[in-house]
């Protein structure tokens, strides 16, 4: 079957039931998207389908269809998406394993809400687990990204 990932169409030899996560990681070599739980409990595998965040670990590749898949590797050509800039400025990451998923969820949030409140952030981000406990800086960084997105300093 064919899927479009980060702007390129790929022919993949996969059973329709195979989760998108493993297609990305093991068939396409896009390992920035992470495996954490396999049951949509941790958000480490978050990618976008036509801009909407989904848990790729429970998304059968056969259901993707013509929707565009965006992974962490595809949100900016140079790591300078406003969310990535904000993550750098706020020194968010620790072990870093969950951060692809955190960033993908945050990018989707900011696309819908340009100035989310703490409650909005809590609601959007509570599906993304971080065992290092970077939550506070994730929250701060989303506010910073919102400011950057609005053109503020």
Partner 1 sequence: MTVTRRGFLQTAGGLVLSFYVPRLVRGVPRPQGPAASPPPAPNAFLRIGADDSVTVVLAHSEMGQGVWTGLAILIAEELDCDWSRVRCEHAPANLALYARPGMGIQMTGGSSSTRGEFDRYRTVGASAKDMLVRAAAARWKVAPGACRAENGIITHGTKQLRYGAVADAAMKLEPPAQVTLKSPKQWKLIGTKVRRLDTPAKITGAATFGIDVQLPDLRTAVVARPPAFGATLVDFDAAAALRVPGVEKVVPTATGVAVVAKHFWAAKLGRDALVVHWRDPEGKGFDSTNYTADLRALTMKPGAIVADVGKVDEALAAAKTTLEAVYEVPYLAHAPMEPLNCTAKIDGDRCEIWTGTQFQSVDQMAAAQILGTTPDKVRIHTTFLGGGFGRRANPQSDFVAEAVVVAKNAGVPVKVVWTREDDIRGGWYRPAYVHRVRVAVDASGSPVAWDHVVAGQSILTGTVFEKFMVRNGIDGSSVEGLADSPYLAMTQARRLSLHSPQTPVPVQWWRSVGNTHTAFALESMVDELAHAAGKDPLDYRLALLAQAPRHAAALRLAADKAGWGTPPPTGHARGLAVHECFGSIVAEVAEVSSDSGRIRVHAVTCAVDCGVPVNPLGIEAQMQSGIVYGLTAALHGKLTIVGGKVVESNFHDYRPLRMFEMPRVTVHLIASGAPMGGIGEPATAPIAPAVANAVFALTKRRLRALPLQLT
Residue of 153, 106, 102, 108 whose CA lies nearest to 128: 102
Contact at 8 Å (CB) between 75 and 84?
Answer: yes
Q: Which of 53, 56, 108, 139 binds partner 1 (CB under 8 A)?
A: 139
Could you tell me which stretch among 48-56, 62-70, 107-115, 137-145 binds partner 1 (CB under 8 A)?
137-145
- Stretch near partner 1 under the rule CB under 8 A, chosen from 15-23, 48-56, 62-70, 109-117: 15-23
Point out which residues pair with 9 in neighbouring strands. Answer: 4
Q: Judged by CB, which is closer to partner 1: 6, or 67?
A: 6
Which residues, 6+ apart, have CB-to-CB distance to 26 below 8 Å?
Answer: none
> What's the farthest any 2 CA atoms get from each other in the chain?
47
Nearer to partner 1, 119 or 152 (CB): 119
**Site stretch for partner 1 (CB under 8 A), options 62-70, 91-99, 109-117, 145-153:** 91-99
Helices (H), the chain: 20-22, 82-90, 99-112, 118-125, 135-149
Site string for partner 1, 30-49 (x = CB under 8 A): xxxxxxxxxx-xx-x-----
Q: Hunting for tokens 């969310």 — which residue is that?
A: 83
Q: Which residues make up the interface to partner 1 (CB under 8 A)?
A: 15, 18-19, 22, 25-27, 29-39, 41-42, 44, 71-73, 79, 84, 87-88, 91-100, 103, 121-123, 125-139
């Amino acid at each position: 079957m064919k899927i479009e990932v980060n702007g390129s169409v790929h022919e993949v030899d996969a059973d329709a039931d195979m989760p998108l996560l493993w297609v990305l990681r093991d068939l396409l070599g896009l390992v920035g998207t992470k495996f954490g739980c396999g049951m949509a409990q941790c958000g480490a595998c978050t990618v976008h389908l036509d801009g909407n965040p989904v848990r790729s670990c429970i998304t059968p590749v056969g259901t993707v269809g013509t929707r565009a898949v965006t992974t962490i590797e595809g949100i900016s050509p140079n790591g300078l998406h406003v969310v990535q800039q904000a993550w750098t400025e706020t020194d968010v990451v620790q072990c870093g394993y969950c951060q692809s998923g955190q960033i993908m969820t945050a990018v989707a949030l900011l696309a819908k809400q340009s100035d989310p409140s703490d409650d909005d952030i809590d609601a959007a981000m509570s599906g993304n687990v971080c065992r290092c406990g970077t939550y506070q800086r994730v929250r701060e960084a989303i506010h910073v990204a919102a400011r950057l997105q609005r053109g503020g300093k």
